[in-house]
Copies of this chain bind each other. A is one copy, B any other.
């Protein structure tokens, strides 16, 4: 590993442990992410000085996160791994996985809590708070779903606009009123 790669890998190790992901898994991912070609487990173990079995477990976890992909090179029985190099793709994968693992279970817990008939004033207040949380999460995830289906140019354009989109919305609503157009009226 060059010093450049080394520092990237080290950083991901540290960050990984702030995450649910552990240090070694973070480092393995970082190494694969910046590598030009797919790596096999022995190469990873040697570069990072982890045991072969630790690498095996790390790769299993990264595959479960869909952050690395198994490849086979012709004429080589060993398994090689690479990572999607497009950052936006990685972001989407992370968002989907985190949603499945964290958001969905939370939503389902909240939904069932909100079905209960509050047994006391205390419960009623608690439900009120939970309702607020539930609403926000639903709103954010619904929105994020839709955004994911937008094409990347539109998305980039939207982001570049930033808060100026506000002006656009104000303008549009005036147009609709004046023109009486067949805009969807939510």
**Are A113 and B7 in touch, CB under 8 angstroms?**
yes
| A146-186 to B contact mask, C-beta < 8 Å, 1/0 | 11011101101111111111101100100000000000101
Closest Cβ of chain B to A155, distance in Å, is 9
Closest Cβ of chain B to A99, distance in Å, is 13
Docked Cα-Cα span, A100 to B145, in Å, equals 26
Docked Cα-Cα span, A102 to B36, in Å, equals 26
Docked Cα-Cα span, A26 to B164, in Å, equals 37
Number of copies: 2
Docked Cα-Cα span, A183 to B115, in Å, equals 49
Q: Residues of B contacting A150 with CB < 8 Å?
A: 163, 165-166
**Are A8 and B91 in touch, CB under 8 angstroms?**
no
**Are B162 and A165 in touch, CB under 8 angstroms?**
no
For residues 4 through 38 of chain A, which have their beta carbon under 8 Å from a beta carbon of chain B?
A: 4-5, 7-8, 11, 15, 17-20, 33-36
The 7 A-B pairs with the shortest beta carbon distances in the complex, nearest first, are A146-B162, A34-B126, A87-B136, A146-B163, A143-B159, A36-B125, A87-B132
A-B contact pairs, 17 of them (CB 8 A): A2-B126, A4-B113, A4-B116, A4-B119, A5-B123, A7-B113, A8-B113, A18-B20, A19-B19, A20-B20, A34-B126, A34-B130, A36-B122, A145-B162, A147-B163, A150-B163, A157-B169
